[in-house]
Amino acid sequence: MRNLQLSLNQTQKIRLQSALEKLESLSSKSNANSVVTVADSILIYEEGILKGHGTLDRKGELVATVCGVVERINKLIYVRSLRSRYKPETGDIVIGRVMEVAQKRWKLELNFTQDATLMLSSMNLPDGIQRRQTAVDELNMRSIFTENDLVCAEVRSSHNDGSLQLQARNQKYGKLEKGQLLTVNPYLVKRRKLHFHHLEQYGINLIIGCNGFIWVGEHVEVTDKMAVDQANDSEQQIGKCDQNSMDIDGPDGTFTPLKTRQNICRIANAVRVLSALGFSITMEVIMETVNFSKTMNLDIHEMLGSEFYVLVAESEAERRSATKRKR
């Protein structure tokens, strides 16, 4: 919110400020007992508690060492920072960009302090067969991923020195194509059970990475690679007569329809608006913003206008007020 820079007129500034103040008051009331600043005391309701991140025992009293929200898991008490860098955990769904192809591994940039490592042995091979990797596979690594490719993977493990090990042993992981990559602050993305979303009505795949990278792209059906290769081999003779024709559909012979590209841009703009306003990024909130833009009969480029930012903030304030009244 502090970095929100919009060309607002005086009326829009007042409306936006009013909506944000209303949201802040609703948030402060609901978290009045859990929000702490540095050196604030943390209430303890039982004996034998475990001190977690952001806490310190000072003369028998548990105090906070960072600003944030107090979280309790059984007997573990820790403070979750509201604004912080990405802190990887085992099992996180992440999106990264290949920075280097090294010996039996790829180096990926994850919006983290260090590059992550994806080993060839932790990768689902293109033929789909579970087998030991050979020297031939190592020579063909660039046919799988090369520099600047976008890859979806899972955090396998993290070490004390900050290094990360990734894995991609499932068909849902792998190279991402035909879409847009968006970058948001990692603290806006909450860990949930499901980070892969297939929006059937739009023909879109939405992947919300825990590291703040969000992918919006055309839906691609998972197919049997070997069956596809056999079909391609059987059609090579038929295609020889068209060798001199020009391929206008792309390297893989497919074409993304205009409607799908428009849907990608609309969903991507919804993510940009939510990120600029500092709202949590979830599939439900994104779709509410997309549907709201359609209800207002706004074109895709108009979603990035100042008025839509104000309308989204006001709509979110009303929704949270209504939810609180129902309780």
Identify the DSSP state of 41.
Answer: B
Using one digit for the tens of pLDDT, what is the confidence trace for 160-190?
887 899 998 888 898 999 999 999 999 899 8
CATH topology of domain 86-176: OB fold (Dihydrolipoamide Acetyltransferase, E2P) (2.40.50)
Q: Is the pLDDT at 93 greater than 70, yes or no?
A: yes
* Domains 34-84 and 86-176 in one fold: yes
Give the global pTM: 0.79
List own/partner pairs for 75-78 with CB under 8 A and 24 or more apart. 75/46, 75/48, 75/49, 75/50, 76/49, 76/50, 76/52, 77/42, 77/44, 77/49, 77/50, 77/51, 77/52, 78/51, 78/52, 78/53, 78/54
Confidence of residue 37 (pLDDT cuts 50, 70, 90): confident
Using one digit for the tens of pLDDT, what is the confidence trace for 49-73?
888 888 988 888 889 988 888 888 8
pLDDT of amino acid 245 = 33
pLDDT above 90 as % of the chain: 39
Q: Class assignment of domain 34-84?
A: mainly beta
Confidence of residue 247 (pLDDT cuts 50, 70, 90): very low
Instruction: Give yes or no for a contact between 224 and 127, defined as CB atoms under 8 angstroms apart.
Output: no
The domain ranges of the chain are: 1-30+179-233+255-327, 34-84, 86-176
Rg of the chain over CA atoms, in angstroms? 24
pLDDT of amino acid 266 = 96
Using one digit for the tens of pLDDT, what is the confidence trace for 275-288?
999 888 999 999 99
Q: Is the pLDDT at 114 greater than 60, yes or no?
A: yes
Q: Is the pLDDT at 200 greater than 80, yes or no?
A: yes
Using one digit for the tens of pLDDT, what is the confidence trace for 263-275?
999 999 999 999 9
Confidence of residue 128 (pLDDT cuts 50, 70, 90): low
